[in-house]
Structure 1
Amino acid sequence: MAWIYLVLAGIFEMFGVMFINKLHKDRNIFSFFLLFIGFAGSFLFLSLAMQTLPMGTAYAIWTGIGASGGAILGMIFYGEQKDWKRIACIALVVCAAVGLKLVS
């Protein structure tokens, strides 16, 4: 169950990061509310996952999901650059997260 919590924490982290950008563009209370929900959910599920998983592993995977997911969402929704170098670096982060799961 801890790994499910950790994946949910990463998804909420991606959601929160996406709404940082939206808040900068729109400056309304709804965007702020969604940003707050994203990060609150992220920290809630991270804390639940860390009741079982080691802190180093949980934090590394959480940040990896948030960083790679945020970069992917930026490419999809905000027209950020989609060159092979960025995609290769994202793949390295994902491979590292999978590797941590396999050795934990």
Structure 2
Amino acid sequence: MYSTLYINCKGCYTFFVNVKGTIHKRGDRLQNRIQKLRKERKLTQSELANDLEVTRQTIISLESGRYNASLILAHKIARLFDLTIEDIFIFDDEEEE
């Protein structure tokens, strides 16, 4: 499991440092398990969107990887699925354990 320790702002770039010490910058791609979790719980995209107070298009963009969730939205998603943010969102270059 990966855990984000710091979010540091340097100039116009935001860096994320995980437990392994890897530095990620804004624009790095995240994988997520939203679609899998949604289907396991038999939720439609519309139902999930309503629960999270976002549009269905946002859910589509999240599931397809075209959009990275804000920290607030990531927190809402994690709370809804009763998981940690790190259980749902994974940087592309990190392997799942």
If each structure's strand is expressed as a fraction of its own residues, which one has the higher value?
A: 2
Greater helix content: 1
**Do they fold alike, i.e. is TM over 0.5?**
no
TM-score range, shorter chain: under 0.3
- Asked which structure has the greater CA Rg, the reply is 1
- TM-score, scaled to structure 2: 0.27
Q: TM-score, normalization: structure 1?
A: 0.26
